Structure 1
Amino acid sequence: MDQLDPAIRGVLSSILTKYDGGPKTGIFTDGSCQINPGKGGWGVVQVSQDEIICEKAGFAEQTTNNRMELVAMIEGLRLLDPKVEYEIFSDSQLVVNTLNKWAQNWAKLGWKRRTGEIANIELVQEAYALFLDRPLAKVRWIKAHNGEKWNEYADTLASLYLR
Structure 2
Amino acid sequence: MSTEDGLLPVVRMWTDGACKGNPGPGGWGAWLRAGEHERELFGGEAQTTNNRMELTAVIEGLRALNTRCAVTLHVDSSYVMNGMKSWLPGWKRNGWRTAAKKPVKNEDLWRALDEQVARHDVQWVWVKGHSGDEGNEHADALANRGVESLRD
Note whether the superposition's TM-score is higher than 0.5: yes
Identity %: 36
Structure 1 moving runs of 4+ over 4 Å: none
**Is the CA contact 2:68–2:119 (under 8 Å) kept in the aligned structure 1?**
no
Q: Quick one: distance in 2 between partners of 1:67 and 1:121?
A: 10
**Is the CA contact 2:28–2:56 (under 8 Å) kept in the aligned structure 1?**
yes
* TM-score between both structures, scaled by the size of structure 2: 0.83
The answer for unaligned runs of 5 or more in structure 1 is 1-24
The answer for unaligned runs of 5 or more in structure 2 is 1-10
Residue 83 of structure 1 deviates from its aligned partner by: 3.3
Q: Is 1:44 matched up with 2:61?
A: no
Which of 51, 56, 77 is 1:71 aligned to?
56
After TM superposition, the structure 1 = structure 2 runs for residues 24-63 of structure 1, keeping only pairs within 5 Å, are 26-48=12-34, 53-63=38-48
Q: Is 1:85 matched up with 2:64?
A: no
Residue 52 of structure 1 deviates from its aligned partner by: 5.2
RMSD: 1.7
Q: Is 1:101 matched up with 2:86?
A: yes
- Matched length: 137
In the alignment, what sits opposite 1:4? none
Q: What letter matches 1:159 in structure 2?
A: N
Higher strand proportion (structure 1 or 2)? 2
Say which SS state the counterpart of residue 89 (structure 2) adopts. helix
**Is the CA contact 2:31–2:138 (under 8 Å) kept in the aligned structure 1?**
yes
Structure 1 residues 139 and 79: alpha-carbon distance in aligned structure 2, compared to 1, 3 A threshold: farther
Q: Deviations over 1:59-113 (max 9, x none)?
A: 0000000000000010112133553212011100110111122111111111111
